[in-house]
Amino acid sequence: MTTRLTQRTQLVRDLASRHGFMGAGIARAEYMDQEASRLEAWLKKGYQGEMHYMANHFDLRLDPTKLVPGAKSVICLQYNYYPEENLVSTSQEAKEFGEHDASQDCSQLTPVRISRYAYGEDYHKVVRRKLKALVRDLKEELGDFHARVFVDSAPVMERDWAKRTGQGWIGKNTLLIHPRKGSYFFLAEIILDVEFEYDHPIKDHCGTCTKCIDACPTEAITPEGYVMDGSKCISYLTIELKSAIPDGFKNQMEGWVFGCDICQEVCPWNRFSTPHTEPAFTPSDQLKEMKQEDWLNLQEEVFDALFAKSAVKRAGYEKLKGTIGFAGQ
């Protein structure tokens, strides 16, 4: 039995790598007791803001057997999205400034930024295709089984499951961090009724570092770290928040108009991030050529062309246009 489980487990890792995933770990499917207490406390503090769905389906979030009856395992996977180049709006003066003194912060001259994960095609669709192909291949080897795949699209505690499988630790910025890969990767899960050998959590390596806490302009990360007030996070303000961004954040956006990467940019572990090889995540030439004035004068037809297949569509034209104006572009 042990030999068969070992072979199954290695098969998952081999197929995951073949389909482009940068890591795979497996946990036993069981109720998440400790995570339940933390989620309840987080919700009671109102840190979810207007993300009311976070309080829905509480048991589903914590019990994988309610998502897949008879589930025995949760396979957690990582998919790299770290880009080869960083996109920000450009202008000739910013280029000259940067060439004159590379040590200076050009952010005030190149203010318009979108999160790296949104440079290309919507990751939900890209990674889901990979997951479905992986499940098909697994069934060819193992026979039929019941499974569901998830990519940030259902009530699954993905970071906590990934932590359980040793795919990283949850850092002070509340993101999953891997000691050799950083944190620029998507998380995805396969919940299935097949047994495997199970992985174990790894050590937290944040230590005394507070770079993410210190760098967050809205103070969304609590002073001790490991807890995020989602209602203050720039990603929440620019994507999830449907009402107007409160005036108190007026001078704290630092140019971010869709998402935010600040707490990842300052994280020392991201020195190990390597560029992805996923063609679907490559930004279009039109997006790469966007200048500051282009963003300021963004028209809906341009928005539609730029983000036809992008996760940015989730915010919508009016939201993005309003955020650009709010951020002081």
* Catalytic positions: 152
CA 290 to chain centre: 24
Q: Are 151 and 158 in contact (CB under 8 A)?
A: no
Q: Which helix (H) or strand (E) holds 301?
A: helix 300-306
Q: Find out whether 263 and 216 touch, Cβ atoms under 8 Å.
A: yes
The C-alpha atoms of residue 64 and residue 96 are separated, in whole angstroms, by 54
Give every CB contact of residue 280 below 8 A, 6+ residues apart in sequence.
Answer: 120, 121, 126
- From the list 171, 232, 180, 237, the residue with the least C-alpha distance to 205 is 171
The residue among 176, 173, 175, 322 whose CA lies nearest residue 253 is 322
Work out the angle between the directed axes of helices 2-18 and 123-142 (0-180°, nearest 10).
Answer: 140
Tell me how far the alpha carbon of residue 228 is from its chain's centroid: 14
Q: Is 173 left (phi over 0), alpha (psi -120 to 50) or beta?
A: alpha
